[in-house]
Amino acid sequence: MDYASSILGFLPGVRRSTGISELLDKLETYLPPAQIERVREAYEFGAERHQGQTRVSGEPYITHPVAVAGILADLHLDGDTLVAAILHDVMEDTPTAKAEIAAIFGQVVAELVDGVSKLDQIQFKNRQEAQAESFRKMLLAMVRDIRVIMVKLADRMHNMRTLGVMPPVKRRRIARETLDIYAPIAERLGLYAVKLELEDLGFRALYPHRYKVLEREVKRARGNQKEFIGKISESLKGTLGKAGVGGGVEGREKHLYSIYKKMRSKGISLNEIVDVYGFRIVVDSADTCYRTLGLVHGLYKPMPGRFKDYIAIPRVNGYQSLHTTLFGPNGVPIEVQIRSEEMHRVAESGIAAHWKYKSGGDVFGGIEHDRAREWLAGLVQIQEGGSSEEFLESVKVDLFPDKVYVFTPKGKILRLPTGATAVDFAYAIHTDVGNRCVAAKVDRRLVPLRTPLRNGQTVEIITAKGATPNPSWSSFLVTAKARAAIRQYLKNLKRGDAIELGRRLLNLALEEFSLTLKKIPQAEIDSAVKELNLRDADDLFEKIGLGERLAPLVARRLQPAGGSESGGAAHGPLMIAGTEGLLVTYARCCFPIPNDPIMAYLSMGRGLVIHRQNCGNLSEYRKQPDKWLPVAWEADRVRLFSSEIQLEVSNRVGVLAAVASNIADTETNIDHVTLEERDADTSALTFELQVRDRKHLARVIRTIRRMPDVQRVHRTLA
């Protein structure tokens, strides 16, 4: 049946250039007639909705979604995916609702189209936030149905093929996004052919001159080595034939973007790229792969340290192959990949290689799909808390596939990014394990939690009931899941601190009216919360603690009707113990310590920032008197506080060590020290110390002042 003829007759003005004829011809090779009919109906619907719309090139807009469906047809995807591909822009570019698509083509298609659509209807602060939020939506839709990303990747591939008509600035932006996000996603899903095309198209659009130069040089090298590749291929085929191993051998060229990345990362020239040319051997089974490896190593000597077994330990996207680099004729290095036919199919098509059409529906299967699902499920945890931009950056880090493979004590293999630490490993097992992690053993030996892991190590995590994450871990974490878990913990911790601080600040402000929160009727608090469009009283206290609401204004709102402006009560200072948590910080311009006269500045989003009263920055801040409040030190304090002293010393060998030794004798920790040479005779030393209070600091200064090489010592003041 010629479906194209009926369509072209149905829609006047739509030419064969839309590509529908070619698409339907492809579908007849693997889809049943009922599914092809649905695709035809989707084309009629899409063409009618996009009627009058054109691309930048001047072609009818419908040519784009048809081309996207054609790319997916090459991967033999199912009818629902192809219908969604043809309709993927109707919600965004035409007044078509999701409900209408669901009514005509089914809920599955509607969800796929919605997952791909951008969020143009929502107002964002900037383009970056809009792109990041759109990306977040698309990836989370992938968790529900992985076909969303298949449509998006095909959409991006066709846009990249036709990118030449775009202005240069837009062309570079789209190319950068393709290289940063979409090509790595294709690789993560095992869509190797898609990844290669996206990378080379992105490279050509982003760096057109570099692309042309590299393309020219590679063609020149290829011309010189055609005969060389032929000889190697014949040698490999001959060796396999003599051993009775059946298999195909083909010469393989590294694609341009891969060559460019290697040249940049290693700082080497094209001539120094070891594996620009390689060979792929495809045999019948995994057992034959290892036998073939032995034959190849017998023909040419292997290069030490250049063998990788991705059959025993597949890559994260399910890719399997044996990789080895050999010393070929005249010592020329050649790379050989050995894989089975099934492995080759997966290497080229990834999750699409396991697409099965069944009477009950369409399903993905295979190890690639399981791993893709595992990664996508992790995205749900990564996106909890934080902005869309943070989510996008986390996913970028998680996409790049440089991995280390480590073992749990029971022998399970975990794949982690290069540089991952023991804490990353703990969170990879489970968020609760990461949160309660207190120590780690690598190959049965205790190691610091920040220790980077290496291939083949066995890692054991030691947990403790009641343990909590350490905020300092965020400085060395690598995986997106671990960073997201720490961010969520800190967010909750900060909220708790903010609520407690806000409660104290409001009680302090209420003293002016001879009131406390306990004396305020709950109905009055609820009324104020409702008036300020907040959820509950804790939300109000949090806003006050974060400096987003001023406690005196809220206190004035809460005083009973007819109450006096001031009850005459003494407005005492807020007492500071040093244990208030994340929402009370100590200014590093003046380093306040107990017994210093202090003031507090209410900083938006940071809570209270404590300054010494003689700090030079107070003159600037006092232009906002409503943001300042009196504070004082509580009598009982248990923590140490940072302070800074500056010294002028004689230039003498060992003077720094002598000063540090005298400071240590006063039972004082040194956090940081800097040295600056003033002239030939003197140097300036700055020490950041941990002290209990002013008395402790005074004892340190007296001890240092007695040293003969110390000319001057004083406490730092902004």
Q: Are 231 and 329 in contact (CB under 8 A)?
A: yes
For residues 494 and 545, give the distance between their C-alpha atoms in angstroms, rounded to a whole number: 10
Q: What is the Cα 338 distance to its own chain's centre?
A: 33
Question: Alpha carbon of 411 to those of 58, 288, 310, 406: distances in Å?
Answer: 59, 26, 18, 9
Cβ-count burial 340-353 (b if 16+ within 10 Å, e if not): beebbebbbbbbbb
For residues 29 and 27, give the distance between their C-alpha atoms in angstroms, rounded to a whole number: 5
Please report where in the chains the tokens 């002293």 appear, as a residue. 645
For residues 66 and 362, give the distance between their C-alpha atoms in angstroms, rounded to a whole number: 21
Q: Are 591 and 716 in contact (CB under 8 A)?
A: yes
> What DSSP letter does each residue of 305-343 carry, written as one string?
T--EETTTS--TT----EEEEEE-GGG-EEEEEEEEHHH
For residues 353 and 364, give the distance between their C-alpha atoms in angstroms, rounded to a whole number: 9
Among the listed residues 184, 80, 85, the one whose alpha carbon sits nearest the alpha carbon of residue 139: 184
Among the listed residues 496, 555, 566, 497, the one whose alpha carbon sits nearest the alpha carbon of residue 528: 555
Catalytic residue among 93, 348, 362, 389: 93
For residues 318 and 403, give the distance between their C-alpha atoms in angstroms, rounded to a whole number: 13
State phi, psi for 575 to the nearest 5 degrees.
-85, 135
What is the H or E stretch that residue 6 is in? helix 3-10
Can 536 be counted among the known catalytic residues?
A: no
Compute the Cα dihedral for 28, 32, 34, 39 and give only its sign: negative
Which two three-digit tokens encode residue 190? 């095992």
In sequence order, what are the beta bridge partners of 689? 643, 670
Please give the single-letter amino acid code of residue 601. Answer: Y
Catalytic residue among 92, 389, 688, 709: 92
For residues 215 and 260, give the distance between their C-alpha atoms in angstroms, rounded to a whole number: 10
Sheet strands side by side (includes 459-463):
445-447, 437-442, 459-463
Can 44 be counted among the known catalytic residues?
A: no
* Strand ranges, E, within 200-294: 248-253, 277-283
- 3-class SS at 185? helix
For residues 452 and 421, give the distance between their C-alpha atoms in angstroms, rounded to a whole number: 4
Among the listed residues 704, 708, 714, 709, the one whose alpha carbon sits nearest the alpha carbon of residue 681: 709
State phi, psi for 600 to the nearest 5 degrees.
-125, 135
Q: Are strands 403-407 and 459-463 parallel, antiparallel or unpaired?
A: unpaired
Q: Are 120 and 137 in contact (CB under 8 A)?
A: no
Q: 10 Å Cβ neighbour count for 472?
A: 10
Question: Alpha carbon of 44 to those of 27, 63, 547: distances in Å?
Answer: 16, 12, 57
In sequence order, what are the beta bridge partners of 327? 301, 333
Alpha helices in 339-479 (DSSP H): 341-349, 367-382, 388-399, 422-429, 431-435
What is the H or E stretch that residue 586 is in? strand 584-586
Active site residues: 92-93
